[in-house]
Chains A and B, each alone.
Chain A
Amino acid sequence: MKNPEEVVQRLDAVDYLADEGLAMAVFLALRLGKPLLLEGEPGVGKTAAAKALAQALDTPFLRLQCYEGLTAGEALYEWNYQRQLLHIRLGLASDDASLFSEDFLLERPILRAVRHDGPTPPVLLIDEIDRADDEFEALLFEFLGEAAVTVPELGTFAATRPPIVVLTSNRSRDLHDALRRRCLYHWIDFPPPAQVAAIVRRAVPEASAPLIRDTTEFIGRVRTLDLDKAPGLAETIDWVSALAALGATELVAGDTLRTLGTIAKTPDDRLTIAAAVPQESSP
């Protein structure tokens, strides 16, 4: 990709509408070969951006979902112990080299990204890195800095073409500065209503224009209410899909109440949003 405008076009072609900031972030990440750290409120399209990027570049998409207790065994590589034991049983284990060879190496997402052998580097999404414990961040440093993974028994695997790495975080925990330093950073803001409408139109092509206009307007109002969890883009898309599935062509109070579960995710929010419906939505 030659410039940020091309990034916008290529992502647009796979139905992901990127704004100028995100396009610049993606462009620089690709050109400088650095990982990209995306933050933003939940449901704003962080994960979708990585997926769309893989689709736009037509390369494999690898995903590592982070969770507490994630270790090298799940993220980098693991030895296939069962096969090793069988190998021993069969009396074939003559020395270390035969047991700890590539035959017994199980690739996990990061090592798979490093060893990927194809015309284009894969996109590796390290999703919700803040959910992994902070010890795990240190495991990533070698990979993020050098695009290499060291397996003590075998040596260092370095990527011929560094994979495109996207990390996402919901800021539930402060990430270490050393991790931030190795990445480019972009904060995805919640898009303005016109952009929301455009995104929803792409995501739910079967929805009618008046329906999309009314729903995005309503979501804009709902987001100003005092809610436990303000509906994000993902919820808006779900809601419009639900309304479209019901055959609605414009927003009416009855449909809104029936499909409230797509945008209100706690009992309190349900009440608050329901109270905002009758007098505010168009009849």
Chain B
Amino acid sequence: MLPTNDRPTIQLPERRRLRAYAFDPMSTRLHGRVLTLDIPFERGLQPGPMGTLLQVVDYDATRHVWYHPVDLDHPALLAQGGMAPSERDPRAHQQIVYGVAMSVIERFERFLGRRFEWRGSQPLRLIPHAFEGRNAYFDPERRAVVFGYFLADENPGPNLPQQVVFTCLSTDIIAHEVTHALVHRLRRYFAEATNPDVFAWHEAFADLVALFHHFAFPEIVAAAVAGSQTELREADAILDLAKEFGATTARGGALRTAIDSARTPEGFANATEPHERGAYFVTAVFEAFLDTYRSRIADLRRIASGGTGVLPAGALHPDLVNRVTIEAVRNADRLLSMVVRAFEYLPVVDVTFGDVVRAIVTADRSLYPSDTGHLRGTLVESLRQRGIFPEAVTSLADEALVWPQPPELPGGGPLTLAGDPLSDLESLIVATTLDLDVHGESGTIPWKRIRQSLLAWSRTYADALGLDPGHPIAMTGAHVSYLTAADRQPRPIIVVQFMQRREDLEAREGLKGVPLRAACTVIARVDGLVEAIVPKPLPRSTPTTDLPESLRAFAEQQDEAGRKRMRAILEFARSVADDDPLAAWLTAPSVLRIDFARLHANEEDEPRPPTDSGRGQPAMNDEART
């Protein structure tokens, strides 16, 4: 910055340090550990905190009171890394939800290679003391993460009886719920249950991010590594981190069971409840992490043990702890980034775990073609052992798993965005680049023009995208991502999401408000060439007879896949209704009543640890839904 008034200006800091519990008040009390969150320094942060991405609204709906908002820019707080964690001061609570949420968002940005922005630039609301109740959940309609607080049971384990437990003080719960909100931003139709995997994926991903977020804190990992004392034999220290995660959150029950089960497909195959199903995915990723971690530290162990790999008894050398920690953290980052990046390659609607595997492989293969660390192979194998692999692929080799290229166009040319769409998208490419410069100001993006030219493009090529040219198409997202490739260079891609709601089919099937959506994700290089499409078709109503030969075969295949997909969606909706005790009484279809609050409320049967976020409210809020 330029000096003014003859005095040099003090540069604002780039980072803000805030303290939080590791990972909740209970474990901090037991271990004495406190986290230091290192997050971007938001300029113009108001009391709340209220920034551009997050608003902490500390209104207590049970007690009808506001709590004093924290001003993180107060000099005293800037000078000491924020407030010291305290259960008795609501401002410390506000700081913790803000800090953890920001750190999760920043990791997302890093993996996705672009600045995160909420839809319409409307900030996410965090409500740390929303109500008295054993629940915390993301509420898409309120665009808010709401945290409850409750009195501990008479026999609350390490907590004091009758003590107030705040869900907003658990790093894991905050990370989990904020991740739900992030996923909702990236794929809003994943809030529509169309198969047993959709919500399971939401849960699995939120757990995965929360679990791997532990590795964002090297001091915690180092303590775990050093705590394993003699041998590092089974990497128990790291496993214990996962188990501790299990012990402090409601989702933990299912996760603990999954971690303790054998690496066989049965558990996943029989699991129908979203947390349970999701837990197998989380476990498989975590096991892949452990496998690679073990091989990555084998050399360190040999170096430290005169070549035997058998470490001497007693405490580990601090340097070894440090090096092992670095490996663990780096490895965790690499695995989590594989999964987060896969988001760009996911379908727009109706996601399955099979789709997730294919998206992971497609994304990773384009960035790391040779898979030198064998990370991708290890992950695919670990998922396979758990029974998680796509249907209808010929093998689990990379080539079979990557998403297909679009069909050949009549005349033999490849599908490309070149022309009007690409020239309109150029401004988006520039804006994304400017956003990545922390001091830069982003340009204005001509969304209207981009949308129009992409929609015109989608109408022209609907048959090649698995969509029906006879029905309107909507564009539900377009962005540019700078993913990092093996050569450490950014590899920009354009991702566009198209969606087509088929009210004709809904009417034909007599669905009362259950949407039937076809969709296609298009992944293109910045020169416009479409590298992959991820279609989710529905039966066509437009005949294929007039299509040229090459497209006709593709369109017919999509139509067939669409019929199968629609049957599965209808069958799933029926099975949900059959099991729904409210189906007898309310007119709205049961699948529309599944949401995050209800999901978290389903954990009733679990023996409830003191800080879990069990019991909650099902979705059909009569005020909210009408």
A and B associate: no
